[in-house]
Amino acid sequence: MAAADKDEGGFCLVLHGHLPWVVHHGRWPHGEDWLYEAAAETWLPLLAVLDTCAREGIRPAWTLGLTPILLEQLSKRRFQDGLRHFLTDQAARARADAAAFPGTDLADLVPLALHWAERFERQLEAFDAIGGDLIGAFREHAVAGRIELLSSNATHGYHPLILHDACGRAQVRAGLRTSERHFGWRPRGVWLPERAYRPPSSWWPPAVHGLPRDVTGTATLFADEGVRFFFVDTHLVRGAKAEALVGEGDKTMPVSENQPEWDVMRGWRNELEPHRVVEAGRLLPLQVLARCPEVSEQVWSGKIGYPADGRYLEFHKRHGFRGLRYWRVTSSEADLGDKLPYDQGVISAAVHDQALHFCDLLKGRLRMHRDRTGRAGTVCAPFDAELFGHW
């Protein structure tokens, strides 16, 4: 968690990394190439940023989730050899484009083709420099305090639809053990698959016959294994039932049912406040942070957010079959055939301006919260890490 201003509050940037199991399941479009593209477009660039921070003495304090399924794939020799082949092939494709474009209507794209070739070649050098060990490289940054690593369920099991408590506990335990084996320690926090939470309840499974069954709440399953925080979506906090105030030493003070309606200074049901969870009358020793939608949509929305900026790289248009990307967004309404060439020269200005806007947005939300409650808040912005490799 990074401090926006110690008097105003903090900012928690959470990047979630997950891919389903694709090793030995073909190459393209939804096989191993999916994993290699994620490494080239997301994991290696993120690692490069962290390496730059390390050289410049910067502690970015991100939270980074690497699911057990992703960890197991990244640790395979097949992934390491496959990524080397992928990067070599992409560089060769780019150089072939640079040789083929002159004398055609794509001649202006030659510099960009050479840029892609050099980028893939640098990534291959960087990957070889760490011995193909992406997990170890991220682990080193975590040990240095630049990032905090998260775990998740063993097979990305979706808690609200897990039929038996024993299966839910197995997902949690096996996931944490897998993370511990790769990291060298058990993470304190987790990413709930799809950020999906289920309270303790009498549950009637939708796809099987039989009577309703009592199920344990999601938070209890994780708290019993030593997890101390996770993240949820906004509506779970805004629609929560406030049952008590929690003070020092976990002392609780019950509140009336309607107190959240009139006691606005408490910050009830506010996503800028960390929340505790009570399940089956038990105050659990973990914190829950909720997504701030006004901040998050600036980053992920292709309609009103930064990805809608016409200057950024168009993710969906490639040159030829399995080719490279040479065009820009142009307009979110533009047909792929109407996309204009990508211009690297204008991107630095776009990133700078939008970074300033994002910082102002964060500070504005934190000041609003402080003015309302008298307390410093925390803006939580969780994203799929792959999003940042798309534009």
User: Which sequence positions are flagged as catalytic?
Assistant: 194, 384
Rounded Cα gap, residues 207 and 311, in angstroms: 47
Nearest to 331, CA basis, from 368, 352, 303 = 303
Tokens of 208: 């099987």
The helix or strand, by DSSP H or E, that contains position 5, with its residue range, turns out to be strand 2-5
- Amino acid code (one letter) for 327: W
Angle between the N-to-C axes of helices 134-143 and 165-183, in degrees from 0 to 180, rounded to the nearest 10: 80
HEC letters along 242-270: CCEEECHHHCEEECCCCHHHHCHHHCCCC
Q: Which of 91-98's residues contact partners 24+ apart within 8 Å by CB, and which partners?
A: 91/116, 91/117, 91/120, 91/121, 91/124, 92/117, 93/323, 93/324, 94/120, 94/324, 97/319, 97/323, 97/324
CA distance between the termini of the chain = 25
Rounded Cα gap, residues 316 and 207, in angstroms: 36
Nearest to 302, CA basis, from 194, 387, 389 = 387
Put the strands of the sheet holding 229-232 in their side by side order. Answer: 189-190, 229-232, 282-290, 275-279
Question: For the chain, how are helix, strand and coil distributed in percent, rounded to 5?
Answer: 45, 15, 35
Q: Could you give the angle at the alpha carbon of 38 between the alpha carbons of 34 and 39, nearest 5°?
A: 120
CB atoms within 10 A of CB 228: 14
Residue showing tokens 């168009």: 314
